[in-house]
Structure 1
Amino acid sequence: MSVAPQEQDPPPPVRAWRRPVDVGLRVVGGLVAFVAGAATAVLELLLAPLRFGGYLVGAAVLVAVVANIALSWFAVEAVGRRWAVALPAVPWVVIMVAAADRTTEGDVLLVGNWVGLTLVVAGAMTFAVMAFRSIVALPPAPGRY
């Protein structure tokens, strides 16, 4: 009994337009992650002084953690590279550092109360944990990226 070699399906035709479209979508995804990092930082700064009954609520901290997890995941998935976690993290950190500094008029956007300190630490640690997770993650399946 001899077994005849099985015929393999021919490889799909290579489409020349796929590579530029893929690169374009990755660039747009990276830009969206970058702008969204800046936008969520501004939103969190607006939520930082939120009070109910005269007491600070700390809703900005929860928003920071949830948004930074989502932005980190989106950046890696959209760009297809592990380093993409930095795309939303860089504008977020820059805005938070700038918000903690006094302007020439003496204004401070992020005051040194428990909400401001927790916001900066929790948000930065969220990006750090997401970056660490993407570094130690198993390599993607063949053909994925």
Structure 2
Amino acid sequence: MSVAPQEQLPQPPRPARARRFLDVGLRVAGGTVAVVAGAATAMLELLLAPLRIGGYLVGVAALVAVVANIALSWFAIETVGRRWAVALPALPWVVIMVAAADRTTEGDVLLAGDWVGLTLVVAGVMAFAVMGFRSIVAGPLTPGRY
């Protein structure tokens, strides 16, 4: 009984060195944009946290946090091409929120412990957590598909 030799499948062409360099450069640029955007949206949300209409807190900052953090997580995963990239916008966002909740030497607090501040932090962190969990469960990461 003879066994047929296995056929060698043709190997896909390796990308040129310049193309690989461009790909890495774009991934690094996308990751950098995600980090800067995470910090920028945290500052925007801190500015929106004390927003009042008719003397009542509105809480629009929490809605902005959820939408922005979901969009930033998606952007980071798509541009970097790795699942761990969800941490790129999450880290500066969390650091800024923790720093904003601490009292300064002058006694100022950027993020008060009212319902808007608590909802903002919980909703923002949960948006990052859900996107991170979703990227883990989603299966193999292919270009153009989240």
Give yes or no for TM over 0.5. Answer: yes
Identity of aligned residues (%): 80
Cα displacement (A) at 1:140: 2.6
Tell me the residue number matched to 2:71.
70
SS of alignment partner, residue 17 of structure 1: helix
Tell me the residue number matched to 1:120.
121
Cα displacement (A) at 1:96: 0.2
- Contact 2:69–2:124 (CA<8 Å) still a contact in 1? yes
Q: Given the superposition, is the C-alpha separation of residues 139 and 11 from structure 1 closer, same or farther in structure 2, using an over 3 Å criterion?
A: closer
Tell me the residue number matched to 1:44.
45
Tell me the residue number matched to 1:5.
none
SS of alignment partner, residue 84 of structure 1: helix
Tell me the residue number matched to 2:131.
130
Q: Which amino acid aligns with 1:74?
A: F
- Contact 2:82–2:141 (CA<8 Å) still a contact in 1? no
Q: Which amino acid aligns with 1:88?
A: P
Cα displacement (A) at 1:98: 0.3
Q: CA RMSD in A?
A: 2.0
Q: Given the superposition, is the C-alpha separation of residues 19 and 113 from structure 1 closer, same or farther in structure 2, using an over 3 Å criterion?
A: same
Tell me the residue number matched to 2:62.
61
Query: How many aligned residue pairs are there?
Result: 136
Cα displacement (A) at 1:12: 5.6
Q: Which amino acid aligns with 1:61?
A: A
For 1:100-115, what aligned pairs fall within 5 Å after superposition? 100-115=101-116
Q: Given the superposition, is the C-alpha separation of residues 113 and 80 from structure 1 closer, same or farther in structure 2, using an over 3 Å criterion?
A: same
SS of alignment partner, residue 76 of structure 1: helix
Kindly provide the CA deviation profile for residues 34-87 of structure 1, in whole angstroms up to 9, marking residues without a partner as x.
000000000000000000000000010000000000000000000000000000
TM-score scaled by structure 2? 0.87
Cα displacement (A) at 1:13: 7.3
Give the Cα separation in 2 of the matches to 1:29 and 1:38: 14
